[in-house]
Amino acid sequence: MTDVVFFVAVGWMTLLFSAGVVLVIRRDSAVDRIQALDVLSLILVALLVLFADSQESSYYLDVALIVSLLSFVAIIAAARYFGRGRIF
Amino acid sequence: MELAIAIIQDALVILGLVIMTIGVYGVIRFPDIYTRVHAASKAVFLGVISILLATVLSGGADVVLRAILIGVFLLLTTPVAAHTIAQAAYQRGEPMKTPGAIDESESGLPEKSDEPRD
């Protein structure tokens, strides 16, 4: 990947991430915020994958895998708690 | 050959960026949570897959295996998370604001409440 594309992609993805953070803060319903957090975790995984490509290091991908694992569990727990009042 | 791979990688990254931008725009603009879930779980996820493909093209074996692992894991978990979010919204009675929305369940959408219920 050329350097120009990498910098443009990282900058643009940071903008998307900021939009997601604004969504998490400004939405009025809790389930909307949970869903915005889901979007945030996906954008974070994409950023980490971009860095793994540019640094040619696989450690960033380990971090991306763990972030996606943890955010999945967190989203499921938060959504079930919001819907039923208990997780299990 | 390396130049061709670099160009294909650039194209895939830009494609992923465009798809993710469309997804985030959908999350901002759609009228209710039931439609927002579509934008988040399909469009943004496809953008991540496109960027993963760009990484796979140039990396060694360790990068390729981890990228495949991340792709398969996201493919399995994103629909489950979206389903759980939509189910929670329905159980709490989030209103459907999309024009022409049809609720086909027998019980119907419950009243919007501040307390969760079983």
Give CA–CA dist A80/A83, Å, rounded. 5
**DSSP H helical segments within chain B, as ranges?**
2-29, 33-38, 45-58, 61-91
Residue B117 pLDDT > 70: no
Within the 28-57 window of chain B, which residues sit less than 8 Å (CB to CB) from chain A? 28, 33, 36-37, 40-41, 44-45, 47-48, 51-52, 54-55
Other residues' Cβ atoms within 10 Å of the Cβ of residue A1: 21
CB-based contact, B19 to chain A, within 8 Å? no
What's the whole-number average pLDDT of chain B?
89
Show the domain range for B49. Answer: 2-91
Chain A environment of B24 (Cβ under 8 Å): 16, 19-20, 39, 43
Read off the pLDDT of residues B42-97 as tens digits, 9 standing for 90 and up. 999 999 999 999 999 987 889 999 999 999 999 999 999 999 999 999 988 888 88
How many structural domains are present in chain B? 1
Query: At residue B113, does pLDDT exceed 80?
Result: no
**B13 with A50: Cβ contact below 8 A:** yes
Q: What is the pLDDT of residue A60?
A: 92
Q: Which residue of B has its CA nearest to A83?
A: B88
Say what the pLDDT of residue A34 is. 93
CA-based nearest distance A65→chain B, Å: 6
Closest residue on chain B to A1 (Cα) = B6
Q: Give the separation between CA B11 and CA B33, rounded to whole angstroms.
A: 32
pLDDT of residue A58: 87
Residue in chain B lying closest to A85 (CA): B116
Residue B117 belongs to some domain of the structure: no
Is B61 a domain residue? yes
pLDDT in tens, B18-46: 999 999 999 999 999 999 999 999 999 99
